[in-house]
Amino acid sequence: MACRGLCCCCSPPSPGALNEDNARFLLLAVLIVLYMLCGAAVFSALELPRERETQQRWQARLENFSQRHNLSLADLRQFLWEYEVAYVAGIRVQDVRPRWDFPGAFYFVGTVVSTIGFGMTTPATIAGKLFLIFYGLVGCAGTILFFNLFLERLITIIAYVMKSCHERQLRRKGVLPQDTRQTSRNPEVDSLAGWKPSVYYVMLILCLASLIISCCASAMYTPIEGWSYFDSLYFCFVAFSTIGFGDLVSSQNAQYDSQGLYRFGNFIFILMGVCCIYSLFNVISIVIKQSINWILKKLECKFCQRCQRKLFRSRRNAVMPGTIPSQRNMSIESDGVIESDTDGRRMSGEMISMKDLLTSNKVSLAIMQKQLSDTANGCPRQTTSVSRQNGFAGGVGALGIMNNRLAETSTDR
């Protein structure tokens, strides 16, 4: 098993040592920072020249406009600043739908609870901003719960379908009998009962589903909104992933052809897209976690080899001491105690020291405290070495939902 601290061949780690979970967390934080630095460098190289060119062009047009109409630049900039304030309040030059009628407000709360937050509509009053804080707190939590429940059912359906296909394939090859109930002792039937789909196949299925939904939605947005097909695909990813930049927002014009049908289709596509992309992100997070575990395993193996070499060099010319009686060891997790010569002397009637007596009492007290804690919690936490090894012993949120449902997160793997 991989080492808990820096090396598996060293002594047991102290309470302040770096364990696997903390090492995984720190490595992920470092990788995210590096990923952000690389992304910033790429986007800066791609977008900075365009930004400077746009600023120069706008400055030239602003100066020409002020000279042509005999306006000072200060007055013109003040007017543009007032328009920016009006733009935040929902005022547009072109004809757009009302922002705060009931359909517009419903679209706004949809972007709030789904955490998309396009930004084209924001509350302007103090009462509206205060209500948004409490409304979003409950709404976002409820929507995340809905996404997690959707993910649980989606993974269950995908696992059932893939297991049925796997069983049909085995029957077609003749490996699995036609009636599995009559041959329940068949090892193939027993292995099929615990079969789970691979996370990579689930990720591929979710990728295809997200791509199909995005392509169909883009085919709807292109003729109705007047966007290019690539811009429609870009909007689908930004909206479905809940990034929500707000540069492209659907269903904002005042009038559409078949307006009711289009708004209903827009709602359905965004709902399905957000659910699929959310599920895809969580499955990809499992793959990232596996990659981090692989990196840690490689690093730990290198540390182990170095420590073994140092240990061999330090003990190569040393005189090994004689056999030392083993002492009593305690494992709170397994409630097990390794017996030593102290127990043998106590059972034979030989006198034991006060130190041995206190040690044995401490061991019994620790075991009793753990049993009382497990009884109070209702169900004691079972932690196996396999679950610790694959890095999916626990789980919070979506990771907890997918725990033991896929092959790579199974504790009996």
| Per-residue pLDDT reduced to its tens digit, 325-370 | 444 444 434 444 444 454 554 444 445 555 554 555 555 555 555 5
If you write DSSP's letter for every residue of 43-73 in order, what string do you get? Answer: HHHHHHHHHHHHHHHHHHHHHHHHHHTT--H
Sign of CA dihedral 183, 184, 189, 193: positive
Report which of 58, 122, 41, 60 is spatially closest to residue 89, judged by C-alpha positions: 122
Cα–Cα nearest to 19, from 2, 36, 42? 2
Q: What is the mean pLDDT of residues 215-220?
A: 96
Distance separating alpha carbons of residues 331 and 393, to the nearest angstrom: 18
E strand intervals along 54-185 = none
Q: Report which DSSP code applies to 96.
A: B
| Residue 189 pLDDT class (50, 70, 90 cuts) | low
Which pLDDT belongs to residue 165?
A: 86
Predicted confidence at residue 313, as pLDDT, reads 58
% of residues, the chain, pLDDT over 70? 64
Q: What would the DSSP string read from start to end of 181-199?
A: TTTTT-HHHHHHHT----H
Measured over all CA atoms, what is the biggest interatomic distance in the chain, rounded to whole angstroms? 112
Q: Mean of the pLDDT values across residues 152-177?
A: 83
Mark 322-338 as b/e (b = at least 16 C-beta within 10 Å): eeeeeebebeeeeeebe
Q: From start to end of 290-403, where are the E strands?
A: 329-331, 336-338
pLDDT score for 109: 93
Tell me the average pLDDT across 376-392.
Answer: 48
Higher pLDDT, 83 or 13: 83
The pLDDT value recorded for residue 405 is: 67
Q: Which residues of 244-280 are buried (b: 16+ CB within 10 A; e: fewer)?
A: beeebbbbbbeebeeeeebbebbeebbebbbbbbbbb
Least confident of 86-100, 150-164, 246-260: 86-100
- Statement: residue 75 has pLDDT above 60: yes
Tell me: pLDDT of 317 over 90. no
The structure tokens listed for 357 are: 């007596």
Output the pLDDT for position 391. Answer: 53
Between 89-98, 165-174, 251-260, the lowest mean confidence (pLDDT) is in 89-98
Average pLDDT of the segment spanning 88-98: 74
110-148: b (≥16 Cβ within 10 Å) or e:
ebbbbbbbbebbeeeeeeeeeebeeebeebeeebbeebb
CA geometry: angle at 25 spanning 40 and 374, to 5°?
Answer: 150
Q: Environment class of residue 350 by beta-carbon count within 10 Å: exposed (0-12), middle (13-18) or buried (19+)? A: exposed
Please report which confidence band the pLDDT of residue 408 belongs to, taking 50, 70 and 90 as the band edges: low
- Cβ pair 141, 157 in contact under 8 A: no
Question: Does 85 or 135 have the greater pLDDT score?
Answer: 135
What pLDDT, on the 0 to 100 scale, is given for residue 130?
95
What's the half-sphere exposure (Cβ side, CA atoms, 13 Å) at 148? 15
Q: Is the pLDDT of residue 133 over 80?
A: yes
When pLDDT is averaged across residues 283-295 and rounded to a whole number, the result is: 91
The angle formed by the CA atoms of residues 79, 80 and 82, to the nearest 5 degrees, is 65
pLDDT of residue 346: 47
The per-residue pLDDT for 331 is 43
Confidence of residue 188 (pLDDT cuts 50, 70, 90): low
Tokens 């991989």 belong to residue? 2
Per-residue pLDDT at 409: 67
| Six-digit token string for 387 | 């679950």
Is the model's pLDDT at 60 over the cut of 80?
A: yes
CA distances for 20 relative to 187, 277, 303, 387, 390, angstroms: 35, 29, 14, 12, 11
pLDDT band of 232, cuts 50, 70, 90 = very high
